Amino acid sequence: MKRNANPETVLPADLFFYTIPYGNPDMMLYKETMYEHFGHTLPNKRHSLRTQTTCLSYHDDLFTVTVQLPVDERRKLFIHVGRNALEVACECGMPGEHLCAHAYYSIMDLMHYKNTSLKDYYWAGLQSEIKGKHRFLDVQINSGNIKIKPKQVFGNLYKSGLGFEGADKLNLKTYPIKPKTDSNRNVLGFALLYFSGGSIAKLPILIPFTATTNKSGTDIAYYDYYLRSDRPYTYNGEMTTEQLMLCEFCYEMFRLTKKTGKQPYSNNPSEEWVKALPNLFKLWQRALPLLSQERFLKSCINYGTWNDKPRKFDMKDCRIYAKSFSIGFILKDRCDYFTLEKMIKVSETDSSEDLWKMPLFVFNWREGNYYLVDSLRDEEVLNWVYRFSNKMTIMRADLNDLHNRFIAELSSNYEVLYLPYKGKKPQAYNSFVAISDPENS
Ligand SMILES: [Zn+2]
């Protein structure tokens, strides 16, 4: 058997050390392993019962013990506990390099004839001594027993190849994330209620609602009630100053639109509608900056059939913007006629195709983006455009008349472009283009 010493421990060269590999990474020394090395199990039971092992010392990473077998002289053993193997030398020299009975019975005795973990006896690299006294270790020796632990001042000593006591590796468990404080909490949110069904619409209002958040606190799990100004107020949570102000605006919007009902776009709206619109617009303008702080802002298109309790199915996340789009027009030459079309740009991008119209807003339902008109004049112009499939057709012969009646006014308020026949790049509209001889354009 060859020596399999820990590199940090130099075993005395004048002694033969017999190596007993553990055969496992846990430094467990099994009885069976010992049987295999000795060649047979306890050949003489008396030995097992009457072996006397006395621990003497631990120096230079070597345990020294004496062993007294019943019919033999007392022998001195040197035991080295390595990370992967136990090495033992005996005064008898182990003739034939076989594990001798002294070593075998002594180790079995020290193991109390049980499978034993040797981790408590493994202190590779920590055995340094000053004037014969251990520097890092507290070594306590009784006759049949040796206890080693780190000196208190060093706390938990790192063992080479083993790690710290109680943690051979850092394996942090994954704990469930602590739910946010507003998990499953009653909260106040705001909803944009609107109805825009083709040619019929209702005036959009903002309304507070109470709801309960989901586990993560990021969204609504279920809705309780809309807080209507004509119903008992039931939210008991704290409200910010902004929320208090928003509620006031909401109640005013509710009051204003109570009698405006649904209106067809194509007809002249009712007197109540016309009267309510400017005030409603002002309320929206004042409410919008306050809404930026609100965490639960929803839109609900089913205003036509709404009741006291928001239906989760109808409620969508939304964002409401002010002063965020521009209106323009483009006159397109289509050979024998012209079309006048709207151009609505959001962040410089032409979004005309994606935006729908409802009173006071244009919106992209799918993306949940709602854009409040800039002015009531814009509202009027947009309603005019949207009313007729967003497109107006003009015969070539009527261009001059169109200019005088419409485009002159439009172009002094909005950007108007002109796209020549088969042209790809729109040009700035000017009166010259429109009133010049159509045959030469
Ligand atoms: Zn021996």
58 and 103 in a single domain? The answer is yes
Over 70: is that where the pLDDT of 306 sits?
no
φ and ψ of 366, to 5 deg: -65, -40
If asked whether residues 29 and 140 sit together in one domain, one would say yes
Estimate the crossing angle of helix 101-110 against helix 31-38, to 10 degrees: 170
Is the sign of the CA dihedral 21, 23, 26, 30 positive or negative?
negative
Half-sphere exposure of residue 59: CA atoms within 13 angstroms, side-chain side: 10
Single out the residue of 146, 159, 122, 151 nearest to residue 134, CA to CA.
151
For residue 194, give the nearest of 184, 185, 204, 186 by alpha carbon: 204
pLDDT of 229 > 70? The answer is yes
Average pLDDT of span 231-253: 85
Q: Are residues 147 and 90 in the same domain?
A: yes
Is the same domain home to 197 and 313? Answer: yes
* CA 37 to ligand 1 center in whole angstroms: 14
Q: Which amino acid is at 307?
A: N
**pLDDT value at position 264?**
76
pLDDT the model gives residue 267: 67
Residues 6+ apart with CB under 8 A from 318: 192, 297, 298, 299, 368, 369, 370
Task: Give 334 Cα–ligand 1 centroid separation in angstroms.
Answer: 112
Ligand 1 centroid–CA 2 distance in Å is 17
Tokens coding 222 = 């279920």
Q: Name the β-bridge partners of 344.
A: 327
What percent of the chain lies above the pLDDT cut of 90? 35
Q: Are residues 255 and 366 in the same domain?
A: no
- Angle (CA) 281-324-312 rounded to 5° is 70
Give per-residue pLDDT as tens, 186-214.
889 999 999 877 678 889 999 999 999 88
Q: Do 285 and 329 lie in a common domain?
A: no
Assigned domain for 161 exists: no
Per-residue confidence band for 75, with pLDDT thresholds at 50, 70 and 90: very high
User: Is residue 440's pLDDT more than 60?
Assistant: no
Give the number of residues written for the chain: 441
Q: How far apart, in whole angstroms, are the C-alpha atoms of residue 355 and residue 318?
A: 14
User: Does 270 score more than 70 pLDDT?
Assistant: yes
> Highest mean pLDDT: which of 75-89, 146-160, 217-231, 415-429?
75-89
CA of 99 to the centre of ligand 1 (A): 8
Query: What pLDDT is stored for residue 24 in this prediction?
Result: 93
Give the Å distance between the CA of 102 and the centre of ligand 1. 4
| CA of residue 130 to ligand 1 center, whole Å | 32
Give 270's contacts (C-beta < 8 A, 6+ positions apart).
260, 261, 263
Domain count, the chain: 3
Q: How confident is the model at residue 51 (pLDDT cuts 50, 70, 90)?
A: confident
Centre of ligand 1 to C-alpha 149, Å, is 29
Please report the pLDDT score of residue 373 as a whole number.
95
User: Which protein residues have their CB within 5 A of the ion that is ligand 1?
Assistant: 90, 92, 100, 102
pLDDT score recorded for residue 72? 82
Q: 319 or 172, which is more confident?
A: 319
What's the pLDDT score for residue 351? 85
> pLDDT at position 1, please?
41
Q: Report CA(10)–ligand 1 centroid distance (Å).
A: 21
Positive/negative CA dihedral, 425, 426, 428, 431: positive
Asked if the structure places residue 6 within a domain, the reply is no
Do 313 and 332 reside in the same domain of the chain? no
Q: Is the pLDDT of residue 321 over 80?
A: yes
Question: Ligand 1 centroid vs 74 CA: distance in angstroms?
Answer: 9
Q: Is 174 part of a structural domain of the chain? A: no
Look at residue 289 and tell me if it is in a domain.
Answer: yes
List pLDDT tens digits, range 329-348. 999 998 888 888 889 999 88
What pLDDT is recorded for position 130? Answer: 87
pLDDT > 70? residue 49: no
Do 133 and 222 lie in one domain? The reply is: no
Residue 319 has pLDDT above 90, yes or no: yes
* Torsions phi, psi for 53 (to 5 deg): -115, 130
Rounded to the nearest angstrom, the distance between the alpha carbon of 34 and the centre of ligand 1 is 15
Among 137, 154, 171, which residue terminates a domain? 154
Residue 341 within a domain: yes
Separation of 101 CA from ligand 1 center, angstroms?
6
Reduce the secondary structure of 373-428 to three states and give it as a string: CCCHHHHHHHHHHHHCCCEEEEEHHHHHHHHHHHHHHHHHHCEEEEECCCCCCCEE
pLDDT at 171: 66
Residue 222 sits in which domain range?
A: 186-317
Do residues 23 and 148 both lie within one domain? yes
Shared-domain flag, residues 26 and 133: yes
Tokens of 268: 């002249």
Q: What is the mean pLDDT of the chain?
A: 84
Torsion, Cα 230 233 239 243, to 10 degrees, reads -10
* 184 confidence band (pLDDT: 50, 70, 90): confident
CA of 106 to the centre of ligand 1 (A): 10
Exposure string of 82-101, with b = 16+ CB inside 10 Å and e = fewer, is bbebbbbbbbbebeeeebbb
pLDDT above 60 (res 102): yes
Query: 297 CA to middle of ligand 1, Å?
Result: 86
- What is the per-residue DSSP string for 92-157? T--GGGPPPHHHHHHHHHHTTTS-EE-GGG--TT---EETTEESSEEEEEETTEEEEEE-GGG-SP
38 and 142 housed in the same domain: yes
